[in-house]
Amino acid sequence: MNWPISACRLASVSLLSATLLFTAAGCEDANDLGVELPGTANADTQYRDFPVTASTVLRDSTETQKADRFLVGRVRENVLGSTAATAFLNLKLRPLAVDSLPTEVKRAETVVAPNAILDSLVLEMPFDEVSGSSATPLRVNVYQLAQPLDDRTTYNSSSSVALGPEIARGLSARLNGTRKDSVGTKPNRTQVTVPDRTVRLKLHGGGQTSTLATTVFERLKATGFNQAALDGLWKGIALQPAADFNTAVVGLRAAVTTRAVFYYRYTNKKNTGQLSGRYSIPFSKGSWTRLTINDAPRYFTQVTNELPTGSPLSRLGGPAGATQSVAASETNGLVYMQGGNGFGAKLEIPGLEILRGLAAPQANGNPAIAINRAELLIPVRPYANLLFSLPDSSFLYEVNANNQSLYRPLLNTRVERIVLRDGVPQTGAGLSSIVDDATNKLGYYQNAANGRLYTLSDANQNFSMIMTGYVQAYVYDKLGGVSPAAFILSPSLRNSYGLSLDRAVLDANNIKLRVYYSQLR
């Protein structure tokens, strides 16, 4: 339950709390706040800042399967080392094809025009994010998969699959290109220059020759081309950064225009000239409607980290790395959290146990204090994040002493224990109320408390998470199950289908939990 309090200053929004973050903590007399709690006598209301001990951890896997984007590339920097991303994708024919090869009627049978000639095969992939520098063209190696991705297997950032034959090596694509667009209506249409946000990798044509491309195209021209025929020839794609490319990781969108496109030409029916056409095969969920999304092709991103040699952070590598923590004192008072590659900020909050002691029941059985508001305040180190975008959200996972997530049962499954937003039950039977019965999908993770990024200036940014309901449940021993040894702050939320390398560098020495509470007597 949320204990009521009428003090106007406690109703202030997080921006005020962000300002208070840089002031000294203190206590205030209830008379100054004008607090009167219904059903109680006098209440002494105060706030207190509880320090947080922070360190950096590296979790062993991140959800990347069927995310809103897949990542390709490698970016290297001095602090966290090198992060490489390889995408593995199936190709799948759509139930209702948008593009088709030219046909003609022959002996009462509609068949593909036999004179179609392949000009090129291009992978076309729109992108909306570049981590690192866009000045250098992306360079990748393209492979077939040894087998299509399995519909019954769950893949994540640590997964790997066997590669088949190489299709092309060292293909490049500009990340800072432009194109001309027409804007306005006739007769006032004008040409404007806009960024070209599409990666195009030519597998065949323009000096690049691919036996795979010609083989698949010839099979396309035959009757009875279907998914089984495609899988027999082309089992999937792996997009791997070239060995010497280390300047960027590109976020490629899982959009309707993410596809392999066969460009071809053919002679018109009158045999007086040639026409051009294209046939596309998608490899993302964007080409499917909500009704058929489960039939969309599978894909995932593998993310690997090469930690800097000699740095304290190198302890996070290896088989035992997931249980290790690197204290902020070893990394110049900073800790890191990053989506995609698994870095998280481990937070230990001894103030929660202090509050639990302060709340010990009185003789009448009621708790000695009422928790009115609790807010986690996390300052961002300014100008420390040159290669990556700042995430706009953060989430808290409960973990044990070995940095492993704690779990709770929910309906017929197990879910990771996270700090949930105010207004929903933190534990118990009431959790079932946040499951969407209409779609039979869990709404659990979507009810996570969100540590939002607030920007007061370029030099003054912080994450603020309201966690009043959670602190109440913790202090009044209503969490259920074992208490967490610590929390891991991450910009990644399970089941959100978001994937990026957004990073935050946090000022570990000034992270605090600010709690407003009333002494009841």
Whether residue 2 is contained in a domain is answered as no
Among residues 297, 318, 347, the one where a domain terminates is 297
Q: Are residues 353 and 274 in the same domain?
A: no
Q: Are residues 88 and 37 in the same domain?
A: no
Whether residue 35 is contained in a domain is answered as yes
pLDDT per residue over 375-431, tens digit each?
A: 999 999 999 988 999 999 999 999 999 999 999 988 888 899 999 999 988 887 778
Whether residue 305 is contained in a domain is answered as no
Closest CA to 136 of 85, 174, 86: 174
Mean pLDDT of the region 131-159? 96
DSSP state of 392: S
Q: Are residues 55 and 198 in the same domain?
A: no
pLDDT per residue over 25-39, tens digit each?
A: 344 443 343 344 444
Give the global pTM. Answer: 0.86
Question: How high is the mean pLDDT of the chain?
Answer: 86
Structural domain count, the chain:
2
Q: Are residues 328 and 472 in the same domain?
A: yes
Whether residue 1 is contained in a domain is answered as no
CA dihedral 11, 15, 18, 23 (to 10 degrees): -70
Among residues 297, 326, 344, the one where a domain terminates is 297
Report pLDDT for 109: 37
Q: Are residues 33 and 144 in the same domain?
A: no
Whether residue 302 is contained in a domain is answered as no
Q: Are residues 52 and 76 in the same domain?
A: no
Whether residue 447 is contained in a domain is answered as yes
Between residues 81 and 28, the one the model is more confident about: 81
Report pLDDT for 96: 54
Q: Are residues 233 and 348 in the same domain?
A: no
Whether residue 274 is contained in a domain is answered as yes
Whether the Cβ atoms of residue 73 and residue 500 lie closer than 8 Å to each other: no
Tokens of 516: 């407003």
Buried/exposed code over 279-312 (b: 16+ C-beta within 10 A; e: otherwise): bbbbbbbbbbeeeeeeebbbbbbbbebebbeebe
Whether residue 154 is contained in a domain is answered as yes
Among residues 297, 321, 345, the one where a domain terminates is 297
Top mean pLDDT of 59-68, 80-89, 111-120, 358-367 is at 80-89
CA distance 460 to 471: 27
Mean pLDDT of the region 104-120? 61
Q: Are residues 53 and 19 in the same domain?
A: yes
Q: Are residues 46 and 88 in the same domain?
A: no
Q: Are residues 279 and 353 in the same domain?
A: no
Res. 269 pLDDT band, cuts 50 70 90: confident
Q: Are residues 38 and 100 in the same domain?
A: no
Q: Are residues 155 and 214 in the same domain?
A: yes
Given a cut of 60, whether residue 2 has pLDDT beyond it is no
Domain containing residue 474: 8-61+310-520
Instruction: Please name every residue paired with 264 in a beta bridge, in sequence order, or none if there are none.
Output: 118, 277
